Amino acid sequence: MKRIESAKNPKIKHIKRLHKRKQREKDNQFFIEGPHLVEEALHYEAAVQEVFLEEEFSVPSSWDFKDIPVTFVPEAVMKEMSATETPQGVAAVCNMTAVSNLTLEQGRYLFIDGIQDPGNLGTIIRTADAAGLTAVILGEGTVDLYNDKVLRSTQGSVFHLPIVRGDLEDWVEKCKKKNIPVFGTGIEMGTTHTAIEPQETFALLIGNEGSGVSEFLLAKSDQNLYIPIHGKAESLNAAVAAGILLYHLRG
């Protein structure tokens, strides 16, 4: 087993830089922490490059590191690497795996147009996973998938289904060619979501927390849906709205 004793070790310094999006994109790597995320990464064969453990961390017997290098670090070094106040004794560096060759089939898709809050994006991905979606496409202006708060909020779902960045206009066009209905979402115009029957195949467009789905995408949608507000709230949380719509459309 390897061991790193100092936070000044170049590898630790590199990991700290992975908390910035620019560095992640340069290196095509991201950092995860906590037993649940690391377990999911190992189990779903994400491209884990290296695992870091505190001596005191007791590794569950179900974990299989295969050929992945494991390095021990003292608590102080783990704290230095971590983005959280209370690190949980285990972390890992993963490669971003390219799913750039994702092809659109008859399936169920979520297109995300500019979700900004990391917790919302993570929770939406977790919800899309639970609803059994085929893939999630992240449009421009959406918070980075590999932001540590996004990753934590996915509760591991980041490793469960294909999630790719893309030009949503292109994806809507692709849907049209394959006769996959595209549903926009908005507060004011459109159809109550319950007026739509569950669909075998669809793409649902979810928009930014404040401004919603871009107008030019709404104009290209087959139908725009809204969730009726029966009380005095102005709107629903974006992840809650995604859950209601995905579970309704899925049937």
Give the binding site for its own copies (CB under 8 A): 44, 119, 123, 126-133, 155-157, 160-161, 194, 227, 229-237, 239-244, 247-248, 250-251
- Planar angle of CA 109, 112, 115, nearest 5 degrees: 150
Q: Report, in Å, the least distance between residue 36 CB and its own copies.
A: 9
Query: Which of 175, 151, 132 lies closest to 41, judged by CA?
Result: 151
Cα 58–chain centre separation: 28
Q: Nearer to its own copies by C-beta: 223 or 237?
A: 237
Dihedral over Cα of 35, 39, 42, 44: its sign: negative
Q: Nearer to its own copies by C-beta: 12 or 204?
A: 204
Distances (CA, A) of 239 to 147, 166, 193: 17, 20, 16
Q: Report, in Å, the least distance between residue 210 CB and its own copies.
A: 12
Q: Nearer to its own copies by C-beta: 28 or 97?
A: 97
Q: Nearer to its own copies by C-beta: 22 or 230?
A: 230
Q: Report, in Å, the least distance between residue 70 CB and its own copies.
A: 25
Q: Report, in Å, the least distance between residue 9 CB and its own copies.
A: 32
Phi, psi of 5 (to 5 degrees): -100, -20
CB–CB of 137/171 below 8 Å? yes
Q: Report, in Å, the least distance between residue 250 CB and its own copies.
A: 7
In the structure encoding, which two tokens stand for residue 229, read together?
Answer: 């507000």
Q: Nearer to its own copies by C-beta: 98 or 229?
A: 229
Q: Report, in Å, the least distance between residue 248 CB and its own copies.
A: 8
Q: Report, in Å, the least distance between residue 173 CB and its own copies.
A: 27
E strand or H helix that includes residue 169: helix 168-177
d(CA 185, CA 207): 7
Query: Which of 202, 201, 128 lies closest to 160, judged by CA?
Result: 128
Neighbouring C-beta atoms of residue 56, cutoff 10 Å: 8
Q: Which residues contact 140 (CB under 8 A, 6 or more apart)?
A: 114, 167, 168
Q: Nearer to its own copies by C-beta: 74 or 107?
A: 107
d(CA 133, CA 129): 6
Q: Nearer to its own copies by C-beta: 39 or 50?
A: 39
